[in-house]
Amino acid sequence: MGGCPPDSGAIRPRPGACPITLARAPPPAQTPAVSKHQRLFALLTIATFFEGFDTRLVSLVQPVIGREFGASKEELGVVLGLSSLGMVFAFFGIHAADRVGRRPVFLAALASYAVLTLATAFAPSLAVFTLLQVFARMAMVVELGLAYLILSEEMPPEVRGRVNGLFGGCVALGASVPDALLHPLTNLGVGWRGLFLIGAVPLVLFPFYVLQLGETEAFRARQALARATDAESSGARDSRSFGGKLAEELGRLRVLLSSAHRARLAGITSLWVLVNFWSGTALYSFTLYVFDERGWTAADLVLLPLGTIPCGLLGYSLAGLAMDRLGRRRACSLYLGIGVAATLTCYQASAGAAILAGYFALIGLGGVWAIVTTWTAELFPTELRATATGFANNLVGRFGLVFGPMVAGLLGGALRSTADAVAWLGLVLLIGIPIALSLPETNAIRLSPSDGPG
């Protein structure tokens, strides 16, 4: 009567062994104390509000810097794509968080992107602007990725989706603010450079984060377990050498790419490529599209946050609610399907109201980022969690964001229409639905400090 239970996508530690099932968190007997969680949420939200603010800047100022530096539409697409290349390099920063901790890497990223954003405000040429943004966006993505990871490890599992959804909404809130500021800053004579000055505000707040932000309990527990294991191991001395550390890092990557994790890593990475590609076309091309093909100006963007702010907060919050109520698979599939319809509406409508409605929907549907980010953290154990996130979202996934704007720019030039190019490219989201439905469901699993899911 033995044998294994039905396999639903759980990890098999070795051939012939029963799969390790994803442990579900029991319903809480009472409402847990949330003061510590509220403080952590506030800390991370303030920091990533400016990350969202800075992320929007490069795509927002495309038409303006294009005129100032004499760049064509195709060149601007290449600049946006190259600046996104820094997000690929973010893998190495996020990967380091599995070795040295979430806190030090997060703080280093926070300081770095604030300094680089400040430097961008004084860029004398398009080449310098692009170079600074490569590294600034690398730091921004490390900071944002680790913020999600910290929340995923620290928050109660039964509300993890809603917390990450609300957190993503606050990031979207930051991304909505620059639209209202470009026109008044232009009238004041500081223009797009003033936006980057504002984006450097976290530099002032940095000492506060050094004092207030702690390491996650999951990482501390895992670190203690690793120290205890090293103390009993004859290879403890070697692990302190450079060669030992390098072998440890390569070993972590080998485990991540092993048969135990390979299928889910391939699936979640594919989702990241598609979501990033869609963002690089539909979300990053909007300003260029309405300025060049609909005759809009910076003055037309001033009131845009009146729609993008509530729609962003609502869309991300609903993504969190859908994660916890429907599960990760169905929530992701729903957002991908609606994303196609919103992209077509925004870029194929001729009426201004319809364009705005489509764009507001796109902002809210950015909540799919919160879904895929949360899902990625839940699919892998603590010792691999940051590495898996960095690999799936950054080292591979962000190439979608690199090539998305480039392909949109080249196809837009060939079709002589950014609108038509983005409409066709937005259909790639349909590929993600069967991929999402094939991944294991991880709703409300407990992230064990010692061995992760299971």
**Gap between the terminal Cα atoms of the chain:** 23
Which of the 8 DSSP states describes residue 27? Answer: P
356 lies in which domain range? 37-220+260-438
Q: Is residue 14 part of a domain?
A: no
φ, ψ of residue 32 to 5 degrees: the values are: -70, 160
Q: How many CB atoms lie within 10 A of CB 254?
A: 9
Predicted pLDDT at 318: 94
| DSSP string computed for 334-361 | HHHHHHHHHHHHHHH--SHHHHHHHHHH
Give whole-number Cα distances, 157 to 39, 162, 380, 409, 444, in Å: 18, 10, 15, 42, 5
CATH number at residue 397: 1.20.1250.20
- How many residues does this entry show for the chain? 454
Nearest to 340 by CA among 368, 376, 316: 368
Q: Is residue 16 part of a domain?
A: no
Q: Is residue 255 part of a domain?
A: no
Coil, helix or strand for 108? Answer: helix
φ, ψ of residue 445 to 5 degrees: the values are: -70, 155
Q: Is residue 231 part of a domain?
A: no
Predicted pLDDT at 422: 95
Burial (CB count within 10 angstroms: exposed 0-12, middle 13-18, buried 19+), residue 180? middle
Note whether 119 and 139 are within 8 A (CB): no
Which of the 8 DSSP states describes residue 14? Answer: S
Q: Is residue 448 part of a domain?
A: no
Residue type for position 251: G
Query: What are all long-range contacts of 262-266, with beta carbons under 8 Å and residues at least 24 apart?
Result: 263/9, 264/9, 264/379, 264/380, 264/439, 264/440, 265/379, 265/380, 265/388, 265/391, 265/392
- Domain count within the chain: 1
Beta strands in 341-403 (DSSP E): none
The two three-digit tokens of residue 109, written as one number: 């990223």
Coil, helix or strand for 343? Answer: helix
If phi > 0 it is left, if psi is from -120 to 50 it is alpha, else beta; for residue 327 that is left
Q: Is residue 243 part of a domain?
A: no
Burial (CB count within 10 angstroms: exposed 0-12, middle 13-18, buried 19+), residue 243? exposed
Predicted pLDDT at 231: 55
Predicted pLDDT at 420: 94
Nearest to 394 by CA among 91, 106, 95: 91
Nearest to 386 by CA among 23, 22, 92: 92
Would you tell me the crossing angle of helices 73-96 and 286-293 to the nearest 10 degrees? 170
> Could you list the pLDDT tens digit for every one of the 454 residues in the chain?
445 544 444 444 444 444 444 445 455 444 444 478 888 998 898 887 887 787 778 777 877 888 888 877 677 777 777 777 777 888 888 888 888 899 999 999 999 989 999 999 998 988 899 899 889 988 988 998 899 899 988 888 888 888 888 888 887 788 788 878 888 888 888 888 988 898 888 888 899 899 889 898 888 887 777 677 665 554 444 445 555 566 666 777 788 888 888 899 999 999 999 999 998 899 888 988 998 898 888 788 888 888 888 898 899 999 999 999 999 999 999 999 999 999 999 999 988 899 999 999 999 998 999 999 999 989 998 888 888 888 998 889 888 887 888 898 889 888 989 999 999 999 999 999 999 999 999 998 887 654 444 4
Nearest to 372 by CA among 451, 267, 259: 267
Q: Is residue 444 part of a domain?
A: no
Q: Is residue 372 part of a domain?
A: yes
Give whole-number Cα distances, 243 to 94, 229, 250, 411, in Å: 21, 19, 11, 47
Q: List the beta bridge partners of residue 452.
A: 448
Predicted pLDDT at 448: 61
Q: Residue 251, CB half-sphere, CA atoms under 13 Å: how many?
A: 9
What element of type H or E holds 245? helix 242-256
369 contact partners, CB below 8 Å, separation of at least 6: 168, 275, 279
| CA 402 – CA 81 distance, rounded (Å) | 4
If phi > 0 it is left, if psi is from -120 to 50 it is alpha, else beta; for residue 108 that is alpha
The string over 70-90, giving b where at least 16 C-beta atoms fall within 10 Å of a residue's C-beta and e elsewhere, is ebebeebbbbbbbbbbbbbbb
Q: List the beta bridge partners of residue 11.
A: 20
